Amino acid sequence: MALIIQKINVFRWINLYPPFLGAGIRVREVDRKEKIIEVEMKLRFWNRNYVGTHYGGSLYSMCDPFFMLILMRKLGKDYIVWDKAAQIKFIKPGIGKVKARFHVSDEKIQAIKTELEMKNKDDFEFETSVADEENNIIAEVKKLIYVRKKP
């Protein structure tokens, strides 16, 4: 029963995950039907770097797990899903509240399933941006996710 509750509420409970809690990262919106997650982080004294802008590690942390979690949910228990690589490119300093949005379309989910019918395993790339309150992009994040059909 606890595992079922945990799976249902994983996107809300992640707000209590110590690295997220400590950095002030909050999941603000979860749309399971559309496979969208929105995350935000306010600039606080505990997540600032030496020059007073968002600490790069916190910016990456707010983007780290979400594509993998969406894929795990949408592909189901017949697949193994792992983060394989990541890249973050800082565009400009982050000041104030920043946000990121993660989306995996039904078409992408179906394309992954179709490709895995032929190959059994592969890597898939996903991208998102971190934006400030005026929607200026402050960072771009690429994630490489490994997916394999279970035997």
Strands laid side by side in the 79-90 sheet: 25-31, 36-41, 98-103, 121-131, 137-149, 79-90
CATH architecture of 2-149: Roll (3.10)
Rounded to two decimals, the pTM is 0.86
Q: What is the Cα–Cα distance from 117 to 132, expressed in whole angstroms?
A: 40
Domain residues of the chain, as ranges? 2-149
Backbone dihedral angles phi then psi of residue 35, each to the nearest 5 degrees: 60, 50
Q: What is the Cα–Cα distance from 25 to 18, expressed in whole angstroms?
A: 10
What is the residue-level pLDDT of the chain in tens, covering all 151 positions? 334 334 445 666 788 888 888 888 999 888 766 678 999 999 998 888 899 999 999 999 999 999 999 999 899 999 999 999 999 999 999 999 999 999 999 999 999 999 999 999 999 999 999 999 999 999 999 999 999 999 8
